[in-house]
Amino acid sequence: MIITNTPPLSVYFPGKLVFANGSLGDLPAEIINTGCNNAFILTIEPLIAVLQQFVKQLKSNNISVSINTGIQQEPSFTDFENILSEAKKIAPDLIIGIGGGSVLDVAKLVAAQLDNDQSINEIVGIGFLKGRNKKLICVPATSGTGSEVSPNAILVDDSDGQKKGIISPHLVPDIVYVDPLLTISVPPAVTAATGLDALTHCMEAYTNKFSHPFIDVYALEGMRLIAANLVQAVRNGDDENARYQVAMGSLLGGFCLGPVNTAGVHALSYPLGSTFHLAHGLSNALLLPYVMAYNMVETPERYANVAVALGCTKGASDCETAKKGIEKIKELITECKVIARLRDLDIPQSAIPSMAKDALKIQRLLKNNPRHISEEDAIDIYNQAY
């Protein structure tokens, strides 16, 4: 029997993926084997001490190493152009991103744009990037964005303050090392926000209008792992098992991003980041229960399966089970001590109509939502979250 209602599937996996506690220690040998001579590392200042031995090993094997720690918040076009300009002077043959999603996104774009004649504006959107010639390695230091295995990179456009996505299979790294031990030093608030972001990736892929059975496997398991372990990772950051399981859930969420991607939660969260500079994961957490409630009437059986993956018992109907899932998300947010209301972040309610207009511009994500979201619907969801 030919299934005609399943959308076509294209999945771009990294050339090599290593997932293990302590795997960062094996990465220098991997890099040496690539035959590279000049490495450009993008990372964050708090990781410099952790990376000392890593860098020392590269240098002892005659590999030149340059380090940039310029990404301190969600990067803009200007931030990217400044780092790209620095990279061009160095002329590396290998780009390594070690950090959170913003660092990895910029590393991916630097690798692609080093010898590309396209401007950043020309590659915004889906499938416009022509290619990438530089070797690219990504190492996540948080468990949330899944950027290490996704074809996505997000920048803020300085001209209008809006987040813009660059989506291309050329942004998927050649080599990925996931070392959950790198996340142990991540503070509780960041652990919570990034973990809820990863959970949202999985949930929005599974409930997506273009969901796919192949990706459902990753999405359901990702939700299960994160829901079962995130609170412990937040409360006891030294718990290696909890960190390992949440990192695996985040990785699975990253695999969901390319073939299916996110939907309404992410679209509505963008104005919170671009206008009020809220962390991406926090923006998602603020909206997640309310978008779930809006969407569940369209696909109650999918949201019932979400609830079961989150650890809820089945109710008398799909709708009843789905509602349990919404309550479970609210419980996770509370237990992780994440701010749950827009009003608690000094966001004026008068800003909601403007945010709704901005959110409606993110049609590349809204088209994936299982239920159509109009401007009036967006206003209502923001008010529910207020």
Examine the domain organization and report whether 243 and 375 are in the same domain: yes
Helix axes 240-257, 213-235, angle to 10 degrees: 150
- pLDDT score recorded for residue 1: 38
Examine the domain organization and report whether 78 and 201 are in the same domain: no
pLDDT beyond 80 at 5: no
CATH label of the domain that carries residue 301: 1.20.1090.10
- Give residue-wise pLDDT tens across range 359-368: 999 999 999 9
Examine the domain organization and report whether 160 and 198 are in the same domain: no
Q: What's the number of domains the chain is made of?
A: 2
156, part of any domain: yes
7, part of any domain: no
Percent of the residues in the chain that have a pLDDT greater than 70, as a whole number: 99
Examine the domain organization and report whether 172 and 242 are in the same domain: no
pLDDT beyond 90 at 160: no
Examine the domain organization and report whether 73 and 213 are in the same domain: no
Please give the average per-residue pLDDT across 250-254, as a whole number. 98
Examine the domain organization and report whether 127 and 242 are in the same domain: no
Domain boundary, last residue among 183, 210, 244: 183
148, part of any domain: yes
**pLDDT tier, 161 (very low <50, low <70, confident <90, very high otherwise):** confident
pLDDT beyond 90 at 333: yes
Domain boundary, last residue among 139, 156, 183: 183
Please give the residue that has the higher pLDDT: either 277 or 243: 243
6, part of any domain: no
34, part of any domain: yes
234, part of any domain: yes
Looking at every residue in the chain, the average pLDDT score rounds to 95
Examine the domain organization and report whether 137 and 114 are in the same domain: yes
9, part of any domain: no
Tell me the β-bridge partners of 39: 65, 94
pLDDT beyond 50 at 227: yes
CATH label of the domain that carries residue 51: 3.40.50.1970
Examine the domain organization and report whether 364 and 325 are in the same domain: yes
The least confident of 98-102, 136-140, 270-274, 288-292 is 270-274
Examine the domain organization and report whether 233 and 273 are in the same domain: yes
- pLDDT score recorded for residue 277: 87
pLDDT beyond 60 at 256: yes
C-alpha closest to that of 129 among 12, 262, 277, 290: 12
Examine the domain organization and report whether 326 and 368 are in the same domain: yes
Domain boundary, last residue among 165, 183, 201: 183
Please give the average per-residue pLDDT across 264-279, as a whole number. 93
Please give the average per-residue pLDDT across 252-264, as a whole number. 95
Task: Print the SS3 string covering the chain.
Answer: CCCCCCCCCCCCCCCEEEECCCHHHHHHHHHHHHCCCEEEEECCHHHCCCCHHHHHHHHHCCCEEEEECCCCCCCEHHHHHHHHHHHHHHCCCEEEEEECHHHHHHHHHHHHHCCCCCCHHHHCEECCCCCCCCEEEEEECCCCCCHHHCCEEEEECCCCCCEEEEECHHHCCCEEEECHHHHCCCCHHHHHHHHHHHHHHHHHHHCCCCCCHHHHHHHHHHHHHHHHHHHHHHHCCCCHHHHHHHHHHHHHHHHHHCCCCCCHHHHHHHHHHHHHCCCHHHHHHHHHHHHHHHHCCCCHHHHHHHHHHCCCCCCCCHHHHHHHHHHHHHHHHHHCCCCCCHHHHCCCHHHHHHHHHHHCCCHHHHCCCCCCCCHHHHHHHHHHHC
10, part of any domain: no
Distance CA 18, CA 40 (A): 21
55: containing domain: 16-183
Please give the average per-residue pLDDT across 162-182, as a whole number. 96
Examine the domain organization and report whether 237 and 278 are in the same domain: yes
Examine the domain organization and report whether 224 and 358 are in the same domain: yes
- Give residue-wise pLDDT tens across range 311-328: 999 999 999 999 999 999
